[in-house]
């Protein structure tokens, strides 16, 4: 991305007016009054001057080079200005104007037209439909926001201009600055991916916050985020919408677009928040550069009940109540009353004055088991609320450990809250919110040092059956024939039971005689979900029973499909110890793993299998490609793993074989991206092996 986008040396604002309430005028005023030192040219054919400065009728009337053109006129006139930009050979364009793809097909067509023109001319575009940009590194406020909170270390990328204004207003209130604020609008050219990559290199940016409603390219987003070293916070609403395409397998409900978004965010080790307040609180915590180095939480409270509540939430959010040492307890006992609790949570009692708070906070922060500290204050008659707030501010300046203030109450605690906010510190009147926040920031710190990364190229195989897959590929979701599915499974090393497909009972008898007991099934092409149509018969042990069930199954298939003499799948029967489920859905096209392919790729869903998979919902998700180490972590997060590891004296099952199978499925998916979804249910896990006894592969171009 060009530096001229965020660091322009000259700017033309098209659409400036003498009406100070017009958006173009607000932007122009913000640029001038913000202290920007570059050249600024107002453009409007209606005026000769604006505020005593020459106003140009068009861009071509301006002498010299222009780095950035900011367009703030009705959408129907934007294209002609874009043509002038191309003729003028400007470096970059930001279109503030709305009325493009967000309003319908005509607007979308116009947006694509101007974006194509600019791209072909080598001119970069932010927007359209954007609030603008702020770069406090050069005192540039090229936006129509009401206020600029000033310099800070966090850069904020937002797809919503309105959300930008809300966060900026909070920042002004709480004295939190930003390095850059970039409203990306409709993302017709420059998207979040390019900006994140740029900001990860930007010397004035130490953390990145993102509001994102849709990902332009999820796969690249994850890769860029994984490479980054700066903390990234994200709020991503609208993820719960139904998948855009119907999924033929049962996997659809277990690996939705919402699951894909969540898994991608976790894989990238982003800090996901759920509201504007939570986003802003996290920005404050990260801006303070005080990060917890472990899960141990210390608690100071002047009331027993809130301390107990805090302890409950520590457990709920997978934190640890710091086990403070004996030396710490001895020191606490020298200045705390006998009635106080010197174990964590430390209760300094309701009559605690400022000195008791100060000494306790300092003492707990000195304990090595305390990685972060929560100070709970309830407004008792003698409580020095303002004094405690000032004390927390002073101590936070001296320690590398984060302090989270939780002042419970309303009117009485507000003066203390104002002091904490004025210094950019986190404060809340909700213990649960505080613990959730600590958990998110702690998990980020713990994971960033242990997370491993896998590349698609590490998994890719030659794909010996590409032609066979291509022969069955259509624009619609189609189930791949069992014989080709079997060949692909064997190519990647997935173990299947001994099996064959035949319409001939004599061939079936010959096979069964070597493998009793056996299973008879309808092929996936005939009946994808066999149990719903009596399409499977288990534990067949004699030739007589085989003949009877073969005829019965043939009739069931004929009744359901109209096929005469249908082919039947016959398999050796594997006695299950555990039934496991593995499914996958693809988000993106068949070019997803190629350069330029858009989307997240394949999402795996793993967990307890069998006919009750969707009832148990014991499911974890994996976004391809994932490292074996992280696959193990996901598997260990399921409930069924307890049985696999050996439950109540039962022997452990072949966990390593199951891990290898999950990894082999990854290889299958990146080698054959034509696979739209897969359904492996059940995979039978025994003491010695993991076998996929039912495999359905759906393909789509």
In this predicted model, what pLDDT tens digit does every residue of 1-57 receive, in sequence order?
788 899 999 999 999 999 999 999 999 999 999 999 999 999 999 999 998 899 999
CB atoms near residue 102 (< 10 Å): 13
**What confidence tens digit (pLDDT) does each residue in 314-354 have?**
999 999 999 999 999 999 999 999 999 999 999 999 999 99
Give the C-alpha separation, 265 to 371, whole Å: 25
Give the C-alpha separation, 293 to 275, whole Å: 25
So what's the pLDDT on residue 620? Answer: 95
Spatial CB neighbours of 445, under 8 Å, sequence gap ≥ 6: 291, 292, 293
pLDDT at 234 over 80: yes
The average pLDDT across 117-122 equals 97
Report, at the CATH architecture level, how domain 498-573 is classified.
2-Layer Sandwich (3.30)
So what's the pLDDT on residue 246? Answer: 34
The average pLDDT across 660-688 equals 95
What is the residue whose two structure tokens read 């003492």? 363
pLDDT at 243 over 80: no
CATH code for the part of the protein at 578-699: 3.30.470.20
**What confidence tens digit (pLDDT) does each residue in 626-650 have?**
999 999 999 999 999 999 999 888 8
So what's the pLDDT on residue 647? Answer: 86
Give the C-alpha separation, 133 to 472, whole Å: 49
Spatial CB neighbours of 674, under 8 Å, sequence gap ≥ 6: 469, 470, 473, 590, 699, 700, 701
So what's the pLDDT on residue 638? Answer: 95
What is the residue whose two structure tokens read 């288990």? 538
* Closest to 585 in 3D by CA, of 262, 266, 255, 214: 255
Q: In what order do the strands lie in the sheet with 124-126?
A: 39-43, 10-14, 68-71, 92-95, 124-126
Report, at the CATH architecture level, how domain 291-448 is classified.
3-Layer(aba) Sandwich (3.40)
The average pLDDT across 436-453 equals 88
Q: Cis ω on the peptide bond leading into residue 682 (within 30° of 0)? A: yes
What's the DSSP call for residue 230?
S
So what's the pLDDT on residue 575? Answer: 84
The average pLDDT across 169-179 equals 92
101-110, 122-131, 524-533 — which is least confidently predicted?
Answer: 524-533
CB atoms near residue 656 (< 10 Å): 10
- If phi > 0 it is left, if psi is from -120 to 50 it is alpha, else beta; for residue 309 that is alpha
Give the C-alpha separation, 621 to 400, whole Å: 35
For the chain, what is the mean pLDDT?
92
What's the DSSP call for residue 493?
T
CB of 224 closer than 8 Å to CB of 246: no
| Helix 414-422 / helix 161-174 crossing angle, nearest 10 deg | 100
| Helix 655-671 / helix 482-492 crossing angle, nearest 10 deg | 110
In order of 157, 165, 208, 214, the CA distances from 187 in angstroms are 12, 18, 18, 10
Q: Please, which pLDDT band fits residue 241 given cuts at 50, 70 and 90?
A: very low
* 3-state secondary structure (DSSP) of residue 428: strand
The average pLDDT across 672-690 equals 94
pLDDT at 255 over 90: no
Give the C-alpha separation, 576 to 538, whole Å: 12
So what's the pLDDT on residue 529? Answer: 63
So what's the pLDDT on residue 531? Answer: 59
pLDDT at 248 over 80: no
List the alpha helices (DSSP H) in 217-353. Answer: 218-227, 257-267, 276-287, 304-316, 326-333
CATH fit for domain 3-237, picks 3.40.640.10, 3.40.50.720, 3.40.50.150, 3.90.1150.10: 3.40.50.720
* 3-state secondary structure (DSSP) of residue 152: coil
Give the C-alpha separation, 204 to 196, whole Å: 13
Comparing 3-237 with 498-573, is the CATH topology the same?
no
Give the C-alpha separation, 490 to 220, whole Å: 31
So what's the pLDDT on residue 530? Answer: 57
**What confidence tens digit (pLDDT) does each residue in 271-297 have?**
999 989 999 999 999 988 899 999 999
**Domain locations in the chain as residue ranges:** 3-237, 291-448, 498-573, 578-699
What is the residue whose two structure tokens read 């116009």? 110
What's the DSSP call for residue 509?
H
């Amino acid at each position: 991305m060009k530096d001229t986008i965020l660091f322009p040396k000259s700017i033309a604002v098209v659409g400036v007016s003498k009406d100070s309430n017009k958006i173009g005028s607000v932007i122009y005023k913000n640029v001038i009054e913000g202290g920007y030192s570059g050249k600024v040219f107002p453009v409007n054919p209606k005026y000769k001057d604006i505020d005593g400065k020459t106003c140009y009728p068009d861009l071509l009337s301006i002498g010299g080079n222009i780095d950035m053109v900011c367009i703030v006129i009705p959408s129907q006139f934007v294209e002609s200005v874009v043509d002038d930009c191309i003729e003028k050979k400007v470096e970059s364009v930001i279109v503030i104007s709305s009325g493009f793809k967000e309003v319908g097909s005509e607007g979308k067509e116009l947006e694509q037209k101007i974006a194509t023109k600019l791209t072909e001319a080598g001119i970069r575009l932010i927007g359209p439909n954007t609030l603008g940009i702020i770069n406090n590194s050069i005192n540039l406020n090229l936006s129509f926001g009401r206020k600029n909170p000033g310099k800070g270390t966090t850069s904020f990328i937002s797809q919503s201009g309105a959300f930008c204004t809300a966060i900026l207003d909070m920042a002004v209130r709480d004295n939190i600055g930003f390095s850059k604020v970039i409203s990306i609008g409709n993302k017709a050219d420059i998207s979040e991916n390019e900006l994140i990559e740029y900001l990860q290199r930007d010397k004035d940016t130490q953390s990145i916050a993102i509001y994102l409603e849709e990902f332009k390219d999820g796969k690249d987003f994850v890769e860029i985020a994984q490479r980054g070293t700066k903390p990234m916070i994200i709020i991503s609403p609208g993820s719960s919408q139904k998948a855009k395409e119907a999924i033929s397998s049962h996997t659809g409900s277990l690996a939705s677009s919402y699951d894909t978004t969540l898994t991608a965010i976790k894989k990238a080790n982003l800090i996901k928040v759920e509201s504007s307040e939570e986003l802003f609180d996290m920005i404050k915590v990260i801006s303070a550069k005080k990060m917890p180095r472990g899960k141990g939480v210390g608690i100071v409270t002047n009331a027993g009940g809130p301390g107990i509540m805090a302890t409950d939430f520590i457990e709920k959010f997978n934190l640890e109540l710091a086990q403070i040492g004996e030396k710490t307890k001895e020191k606490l006992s020298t200045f705390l009353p006998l009635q106080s609790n010197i174990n964590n949570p430390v209760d300094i009692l309701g009559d605690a004055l400022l000195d008791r708070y100060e000494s306790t906070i300092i003492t707990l922060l000195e304990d090595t088991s305390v990685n972060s500290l929560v100070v709970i204050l309830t407004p008792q008659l003698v409580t020095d609320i303002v004094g405690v707030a000032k004390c927390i501010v002073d101590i936070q300046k001296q320690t590398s450990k984060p302090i989270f203030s939780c002042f419970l109450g309303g009117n009485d605690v507000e003066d203390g809250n104002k002091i904490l906010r004025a210094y950019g510190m986190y404060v809340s009147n909700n213990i649960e919110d505080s613990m959730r926040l600590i958990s998110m920031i702690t998990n980020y710190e713990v994971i960033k040092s242990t997370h491993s990364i896998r590349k698609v190229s590490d998994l890719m195989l030659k794909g010996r059956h590409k032609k066979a897959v291509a022969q069955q590929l259509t624009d619609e979701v189609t189930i791949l024939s069992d014989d080709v599915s079997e060949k692909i499974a064997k190519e990647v090393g997935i173990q299947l039971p001994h099996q064959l497909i035949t319409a001939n009972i004599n061939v079936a008898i010959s096979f069964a005689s070597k493998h009793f007991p056996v299973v008879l099934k309808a092929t996936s092409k005939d009946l994808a979900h066999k149990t719903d149509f009596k399409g499977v018969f288990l534990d067949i042990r004699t030739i007589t029973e085989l003949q009877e069930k073969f005829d019965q199954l043939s009739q069931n298939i004929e009744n359901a499909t109209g096929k005469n003499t249908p082919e039947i799948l016959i398999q050796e029967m594997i006695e299950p110890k555990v039934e496991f489920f593995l499914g996958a859905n693809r988000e993106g096209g068949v070019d997803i793993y190629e350069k330029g392919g858009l989307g997240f790729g394949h999402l795996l869903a793993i967990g307890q299998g069998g006919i009750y998979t969707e009832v148990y919902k014991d499911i974890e998700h994996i976004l391809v490609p994932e490292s074996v180490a992280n696959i193990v972590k996901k598997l260990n997060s399921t409930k069924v793993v307890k049985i696999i590891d050996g439950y109540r004296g039962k022997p452990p099952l072949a966990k390593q074989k199951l891990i290898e199978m999950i990894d082999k499925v990854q290889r299958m998916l990146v080698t054959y991206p034509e696979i739209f979804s897969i359904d492996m249910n059940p995979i039978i896990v025994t003491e010695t092996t993991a076998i996929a006894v039912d495999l359905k592969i759906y393909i789509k171009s």
